Structures are given as structure tokens and as C-alpha cells.
Amino acid sequence: MPAAARPDPRGLLLLLVTVIGWGFNWPAMKLLLVELPPFSMRIACVVIGVALLLGIALARRERLGVPAGLWGRLVLASLLNVTAWMGAAALSLVWLAAGEATIVCYTMPVWASIFAWALLGEPPTPRRLLALALGLAGLLVLVLGQGVDVGLAKLPGVAAALTGAVLFSLGTVVTKRWPVALPPTASAAWQLLLGSVPLLLGALLLERPDFGALSAGTWAIMLYGGIGPLGLCYLAWFAALRRLPAAAAASGTLLTPVIGVGAAALLLGEPIGVREVVALSMTIGGVVLAIRG
């Protein structure tokens, strides 16, 4: 393979760090929801993540100021990459098991291939159209595999997870089309900070969390969520996005649902039956076709 065609090894390593951290975050979020409502849970982790990223940026002496011309694309990226993704993912777990939510959310590369057509001029190929059909079929298996009544009860969670997946995919392509020209750590910190503002408003208006009553285990999981998935993993994701093509960056999420389903089975005792395996296989098949298409 010509050297110019080889993926950046550093970008691939950053993607690996990201997918492992994000995969284990799904059962972690499900555990946090036992003691915290969804928006408050996300905000608590964001506070930890932003503090960590700001500390790293200061240690690196990175520029934290945002040029006036970048504010528009920074706010847009924050709403898509953080607000929509974190809010929708947290809400989906109210109705879905961690493994189910992971499978729905990580149809992202399928949607990214569609947005790449509109924004990057990459027309859909027959493989990408087949990928879309396969991904949707996987969702139907996941939703209806336990019967219509059970599926209907899970529809709000599926809708929330699917909304997060579609908007995050749009954010991936938008960030590639109109990059946020900031140092990686500063970019991640600003996006987490700005993207968490709507979630904070939702928490203040709709929720009444009791942080004083949280167990030591919940505090430990929150530290993991802030330091790992929202701190180091967001930093790794945005850095990888700078080094890899949009389709390749989106394809890095391929391992996340596998890790998420496995972690949910290991840590939460969630079943991995025929329904989960078929839905996961169809979703991953669709993702593979989207990437190769």
C-alpha cells in the first residue's frame, strides 16, 4: 500500500482509546442512573471532564482563546457532538438496557456516510444504500425481537438513541467540513463546556438530584465517566478526527458497540441472546458496508 494511503498510526491509536473508553461508559451510565437523573448525571461527569481538559491545556500551554470567526462553528459542533449526543444517550438508557442503547447509538457511521454525500460531495453508492437498509433492519430486530408490546415500550429510548446517533454523525461530518481550528485539548474543553449548557438548563428545570446521598461507588463511577469517556476520550476523538478521513474516523466507532454489549453483560448481567447477536451483527454489517461503500 502506498505510504500516502496508509492511515495515520497515531490517529488509529487515538481511536482505539476512544472506543474502549466509550464502550465501558454505557454500563457505567446505566449504573449512575440508579441514583441520579439523566441530565444531572451527565453534567456531573462534564464538570470533571472539563476540569481535567483545562488542566491538560494549561500544562501544555495551549491557547484557550477562541478567535471571533470560530465561535459559530464551535457552538454548532458543541451542540451536535456534545449536547445532542450526551443528552440523547442518557435519556435512551431510561428505557433501554445498556447493550441495546449501545447498538442503536453506534449506527453512527451509516448516517455519517449519508451526511458525507450532502456536505462532502461523496455520493451514496449501492453499498451505502444497502448499509442503511441493513442498519435499519438491525434496529427492527432489536426493537421487535421480544414482541410488539415490549418493542413499543422501548420506542422512546430507541428514538432518543437514534436522534443522538444521527446528530453526532452530522457533527462528525460538519467538523471535517468546517474544522474548529483550535488546539485539540482546548477544542474538546470548549465543546464539552458549551455543549453542556443546554443539559444544565434541563437539569435545573426538570430534575432534583441529591448529590449528598450518593454512595461511594457512584462517586467512583462519576470520576471514571468524567476522566475517561468525557475527558481523555473526547480529547482522543477530536485529535483522531484531525488525523483521519471522515469515513475512517467514523469507522473507528465500529468496536464500541461490541465492547459496550460485552461490558454490559459482564458488569450488569445483561443477556446476550439471539436477538442481541443478530441486531449487533446486522448493525456492524451495515457499518462495514457504509465504510467500504
Q: How many angstroms separate the CA atoms of 96 and 107, rounded? A: 16
Least-confidence region, from 39-53, 67-81, 228-242, 260-274: 228-242
Positive or negative, the CA dihedral 114, 115, 117, 118 is: positive
Q: What is the per-residue pLDDT across 259-279, written as a single tens digit (0 to 9) for each?
A: 888 899 889 998 887 887 888
The pLDDT-based confidence of 2 (bands split at 50, 70, 90) is very low
What SS3 class is residue 269?
A: coil
Average pLDDT over all residues of the chain: 84
Q: What is the reported pLDDT for 3?
A: 46
Ranges of beta strands (E only) in the chain are: none
Alpha helices in 8-107 (DSSP H): 9-32, 38-60, 71-78, 85-95, 98-105
Name the residue ranges covered by the structural domains of the chain. Answer: 8-292
Q: What is the reported pLDDT for 50?
A: 92
Q: How many angstroms separate the CA atoms of 193 and 245, rounded? A: 26
Q: What is the per-residue pLDDT across 36-64, written as a single tens digit (0 to 9) for each?
A: 999 999 999 999 999 999 998 888 888 88
For 27, counting Cβ atoms within 10 Å of its Cβ (0-12 exposed, 13-18 middle, 19+ buried), the class is buried
Q: How many angstroms separate the CA atoms of 208 and 40, rounded? A: 8
Q: Is the pLDDT of residue 238 over 50?
A: yes
Q: How many angstroms separate the CA atoms of 247 and 68, rounded? A: 30
- 8: DSSP letter: P
Q: What is the per-residue pLDDT across 167-216, written as a single tens digit (0 to 9) for each?
A: 988 888 888 888 888 887 888 889 999 999 999 999 999 999 999 999 99
Whole-number percent of the chain with pLDDT over 90? 33
Q: Is the pLDDT of residue 5 over 60?
A: no
Numbers of helices and strands, H then E, in the chain: 14, 0
